[in-house]
Chain A
Amino acid sequence: MFVTEWNSSALVKAATKAGKKKNALTPMTFSLLHATDFADRLLYNIIPPLKAGMIVLADRYAYTAFARDTTRGVDPRWVRELYSFAVRPDLAVYFRVPIEVSVDRLLARRVKLKFYEAGLDMGWSTSPVESFRMFQGRVLEEYDRLVKEFGLDVIDASGSITEQQRAFRKLVTKHLAGAAEEVETETPETVDAAR
């Protein structure tokens, strides 16, 4: 098992960090930098464990980019083509929460909202909380479109962690059982082909 997180490659960290600090990122450079980060992790952290037969748990995937970049005004078709080098995940799970739950959880954390996370770069509102509500509200709408387009599995994330974990494990178990069956049935065919 291998875990990989969004925006964690050492290569682009410096540029992303500098850009975020100075609020210097445009929607396009924001999008491209995250794609660069993704490409770096795909080649170093995702493909090797996949080849070794491991399970890769990705905390966010290309769908995050599709939802956020599109909300920021980047062309939705362009960003899909941009990520066409990505490996299509075997299972993609979307943890869905209503925007109010998301805002409440965030306020409960009592941390300062981040500039880009709150979509303050869009200039829709000068109030971070209001901006977050507007921006993330639009992002959630995008996700709902993605669920249909890419057939994402949805877990209701407004419930308790235990409930979510139970639903998640059920999904994963079902998927792994299906994958195991596929492997079993595939083996004889491979042997046939080899003959």
Chain B
Amino acid sequence: MSDPTTPLENGAQGAVTPGTYYGYGIPYLTIGGYPGKIIAIEGTDGVGRSTQIRLLREWLEVQGYGVIETGWTRSALMQPTIDLAKSSNTLNKLTFALLYATDFADRLEKEVIPALKAGFIVLADRYIFSALARAGVRAIDRTWTRNLYGFAIAPHLVFYLKIDERTLIRRVLESRGMNFWESGMDLKLADDIHDSFRAYQRALLREYNSMADEFGFRVLDAKRKIDAIQDELRRQIAEFLAESEPVTRI
């Protein structure tokens, strides 16, 4: 309705200090100087994010860190609505993007910010980058999406589990099969679910890759063995924690 003013200065972008808001933020929640850290694990479906997060959590807790996990569409407020919307066919690309943002906001205010304040490590199973990638594939105005997430907090570390499309297809077929939304069937890229999945995931990978440099993704090869990836994650996280301000240990 009104033209977005000074695009990208107010939205999600690379040059933002970790632990601060990307853009206008949430004015009624000042977050300066909180001791907690946000570690985000990004990547498409089927790259093994949840396994890695589970292992990381155990490792961090043994060392005495307080840890919380937060994951996409897991907010108490929004999960039933998102599930309902996905089960019907009434979602359009804008409402899709806005439902995700509402879910994110709910978790940010109720889980992430309190945890940061208490000095916890927040392990985020996907962060805003998945939302930016999905919106990008759906040709939603990039400036708009990035401004929308101007209320988000820049994470301290972002790990991107990178996979190629062939490996991904094999993995998804071997585990649970392809579903409507993971295949981007709403985009009508192809009639066949396999072709649609391939085209959709390829477009998603392109979106993630385009953000990697800007947002400083630490790229890990998701084709490697679970243990090898976990070792690499632990090595980089340990290094980061040693260098940063002490995080509260219980």
Which A residues contact B (CB, under 8 angstroms)? 10-12, 14-15, 18-19, 24-29, 32-33, 35-36, 39-40, 42-43, 62, 72-75, 77-78, 80-88
Query: Within B4-28, which residues are at the interface with A (CB < 8 Å)?
Result: 4-5, 10, 23-28
**In this assembly, does B63 line the interface, its C-beta being within 8 Å of a C-beta of chain A?**
no
CA A43 to CA B96, docked complex, whole Å = 12
Are the CB atoms of B95 and A36 closer together than 8 Å?
A: yes
Are the CB atoms of A83 and B1 closer together than 8 Å?
A: yes
Which listed segment binds A: B101-109, B232-240, B241-249? B101-109
Task: Name which residue of chain B comes closest to A38, CB basis.
Answer: B98
Q: Which residues of B have CB within 8 Å of A78?
A: 10, 23-24, 147, 150-151
CA A164 to CA B4, docked complex, whole Å = 35
Are the CB atoms of B77 and A32 closer together than 8 Å?
A: no
CA A42 to CA B1, docked complex, whole Å = 12
Are the CB atoms of B147 and A75 closer together than 8 Å?
A: no
Q: Indicate with 1 or 0, residue by residue over B176-195, a CB within 8 angstroms of chain A CB atoms.
A: 00000000000000000000
Are the CB atoms of A14 and B80 closer together than 8 Å?
A: yes
Listed by A's residue number, 21 A-B pairs whose Cβ atoms lie within 8 Å are A10-B90, A11-B85, A11-B90, A14-B84, A15-B80, A18-B80, A19-B77, A24-B76, A24-B77, A26-B110, A36-B99, A40-B90, A40-B95, A43-B92, A62-B1, A73-B27, A74-B27, A75-B26, A75-B27, A75-B151, A78-B151
Chain B interface residue count, Cβ-Cβ cutoff 8 angstroms: 38
B101 touches which of A27, A32, A75 (Cβ 8 Å): A32
Query: Within B123-149, which residues are at the interface with A (CB < 8 Å)?
Result: 141, 144, 147-148
**In this assembly, does B118 line the interface, its C-beta being within 8 Å of a C-beta of chain A?**
no
B102 touches which of A24, A29, A62 (Cβ 8 Å): A29
CA A111 to CA B5, docked complex, whole Å = 42
**In this assembly, does B78 line the interface, its C-beta being within 8 Å of a C-beta of chain A?**
yes
**In this assembly, does B3 line the interface, its C-beta being within 8 Å of a C-beta of chain A?**
yes
Q: Which residues of B have CB within 8 Å of A84?
A: 1-4, 144
CA A67 to CA B144, docked complex, whole Å = 21
**In this assembly, does B81 line the interface, its C-beta being within 8 Å of a C-beta of chain A?**
yes
**In this assembly, does B55 line the interface, its C-beta being within 8 Å of a C-beta of chain A?**
no
Are the CB atoms of A77 and B24 closer together than 8 Å?
A: yes
